[in-house]
Structure 1
Amino acid sequence: MCGIVGLFLKNDDLCPKLGEMLTDMLITMTDRGPDSAGIAIYGAEGEGVKITVQSDDTSAFDGLDARLAEATGTTPGIRVIDTHAVVTLPEAAADAAVSALEEMGLRIMARGASMEIFKEIGLPRDVAARFGLREMGGSHGIGHTRMATESAVTTLGAHPFSTASDECLVHNGSLSNHNRLRRELAREGFVTRTENDTEVGAAYISSRIAGGANLGEALEGTLQDLDGFFTFVMGTRNGFGVVRDPIACKPAVLAETEDYVAFGSEYRAFADLPGIESAKVWEPEPATVYFWER
């Protein structure tokens, strides 16, 4: 079943409240998928790149700065948040850092100038509290609470999935041709780490963007090349987009005001947002792409 939320802020005055607003939206969707939850936050950009990693054993973060300094020749910043850590270092050292982190047994959750992803097994309320999501600010973000149907309940199986820098996807539905696409995408260099069909969807969209498509064009491609039923919400460095399959059997609602654009699997996800009473509220049309960018 699963529940999706998304929030794109037009009013910069709301940016400090992004985490709080998204958390409340996600908790409202708990009964659509209580086994795991995650949120992607697009926050302030600093110098270099941020790499979010995860480990069930948090002692793996002990001395991480020194080990990465030896592997990359730079001095990284390390911010540990529960089972995740955000590593900050120059873009030129990012590839070497990713290789070193994977050799250490750490799981790569996200990479980008602004994007951080936090996800774990458990109820949205508990996951949000563990990572302090309410205190996080940013320009936009997407979230997901999962009811596992395609693969096991694991941290890596939780959404969002990221397969390229500052890009991530959440999904409600099921794809039938993901194994064939997985092999094709691997030949393009998009290697997936889980059995989840959503990760294949993320890699497909990322591959189209890497090939020169904008977000809208990449999402349009899903309507021709992905077989199944789906609602996709895709986040990028500059914005987010929504597309539903031609049958549109999964619920979806959009709301837009002068201050924000909000997405929810159900209206109640954003019923408490400020100014929602004057928002334009509609159900996105089947096989139609919607996207907003800064």
Structure 2
Amino acid sequence: MCGIVGLHLRKPDLYPRLGALLAGMLCEMEDRGADSAGIAVYGDPTWSPAGRGAISLIAVGASTDEVARALAAELGVDVSVQARGTTYLVNAGVDSEELLAAARKAYPKVLVGGFGSDLAVLKGVGRPTALAEAWGLAGAQGWQGVGHTRMATESAVTAGGAHPYAVGPDQCLVHNGSFSNHATVRRELIAAGVEFDSQNDTEVAARFVAHQLAAGKEVDVALKELCTTFDGFYTLLVSHRDSFAVVRDAIACKPAVIAETDDWVAMASEFRALAHLPGIEAARIWEPEPEVIYHWTRAEVSA
């Protein structure tokens, strides 16, 4: 049993409230998983400044100043590094994949929490309420956020084992449930050249989706392929800087609720995580159908 939350804001007036709204959602799901938690936030101007490559590094084993100097020497540009718990949020005036390559060269064993334009991923071990406070989540801004509270069943309780799994550029995945054939799919992906960081079954799904997207498939197609490939019980939320998608398994075993208004789209494992959202009383609320892909794309807004 784990808890999933996600919030996609349509109105720029709400962007300054993203972190506070997401924190409320995450903390409501604490009793569904209190051993670790993680979040992904798109668009915070401090955590992942616009126009700069951004990566999240977990348990680096060096100080923020040391990491900044090492990456600046490698890239030839100024590098900013800030600590949020065990996660370092790194940004620089280069492409996020160039920044990622430099980090892996300087720290070959580093665990990457996520990378991409406008994306910050934070993970930690402990109760979600304590982690949200330590991260300063309530003060975060942006247009989209994803969160997960974990009750570990498939792998160790570590920051690296927490969700989201953000293994492709600008994207991440959170999961409630378990995959019974993840070992088989893992072997097939490894044979295709895909590398793994953990033994977590969720990482297999995240790598599968990223592999599909890298091959040029749209997220809807990638998730349909996932439904035909993976066995087990699951609810998944897959996010990209410009999209937000939800899918459940063939018998919809794991709980999920979606709510939608003109101002936002949100999903959670239980309705109580949505109850505080502004305008919830007028929202359209439903449980997603089995193996139906629910997908929203970020609308362009005028300045």
TM-score interval for Structure 1 and Structure 2 normalised by the shorter chain: over 0.9
Q: Deviations over 1:123-175 (max 9, x none)?
A: 11111011111111111111000111111111111110011111110000110
Alignment of 1:61-140 (within 5 A): 61-89=64-92, 90-91=94-95, 93-103=98-108, 105-140=109-144
- Compared with structure 1, are the counterparts of its residues 62 and 201 closer, same or farther at alpha carbon in structure 2 (3 Å cutoff)? same
Q: Deviations over 1:229-282 (max 9, x none)?
A: 110001112021000000111111000001000101011010111100000000
Name the structure 2 match of 1:264.
Answer: 268
- Compared with structure 1, are the counterparts of its residues 244 and 258 closer, same or farther at alpha carbon in structure 2 (3 Å cutoff)? same
Equivalent pairs counted in the alignment come to: 292
Name the structure 2 match of 1:276.
Answer: 280
Name the structure 2 match of 1:214.
Answer: 218
In the TM superposition, what is the alpha-carbon distance from 1:6 to its structure 2 partner? 0.5
Is 1:31 the equivalent of 2:34? no
SS of the equivalent of 2:6 reads strand
Contact 2:100 2:115 in 1 (8 A): no
Is 1:14 the equivalent of 2:14? yes
Unaligned runs of at least 5 residues, structure 2: 299-303
In the TM superposition, what is the alpha-carbon distance from 1:74 to its structure 2 partner? 2.6
Q: Deviations over 1:10-39 (max 9, x none)?
A: 111101111110110010011111110111
Is 1:154 the equivalent of 2:158? yes
More divergent stretch after superposition (76-85 vs 25-34): 76-85
Give the TM-score normalised by the residue count of structure 2: 0.92
Distance 2:98 2:181 in 1: 36
Alignment of 1:177-192 (within 5 A): 177-192=181-196
- Compared with structure 1, are the counterparts of its residues 127 and 56 closer, same or farther at alpha carbon in structure 2 (3 Å cutoff)? farther
SS of the equivalent of 2:107 reads helix
In the TM superposition, what is the alpha-carbon distance from 1:56 to its structure 2 partner? 7.0
Contact 1:74 1:93 in 2 (8 A): no
Please list every run of at least 4 consecutive aligned residues from structure 1 whose deviation after the TM superposition is greater than 3 angstroms: none
Distance 2:287 2:277 in 1: 18
More divergent stretch after superposition (90-99 vs 169-178): 90-99
Is 1:246 the equivalent of 2:250? yes
Q: Deviations over 1:69-106 (max 9, x none)?
A: 22233322222223222111201732431323432x43
Letter aligned with residue 33 of structure 1? G
RMSD (Å), alpha carbons: 1.5
In the TM superposition, what is the alpha-carbon distance from 1:186 to its structure 2 partner? 2.4
In the TM superposition, what is the alpha-carbon distance from 1:183 to its structure 2 partner? 2.1
Give the TM-score normalised by the residue count of structure 1: 0.95
Unaligned runs of at least 5 residues, structure 1: none
Q: Deviations over 1:52-79 (max 9, x none)?
A: 112275x532322111122233322222
Contact 1:98 1:108 in 2 (8 A): no
Identity %: 45
Is 1:4 the equivalent of 2:9? no
Is 1:176 the equivalent of 2:175? no
- Compared with structure 1, are the counterparts of its residues 120 and 83 closer, same or farther at alpha carbon in structure 2 (3 Å cutoff)? same
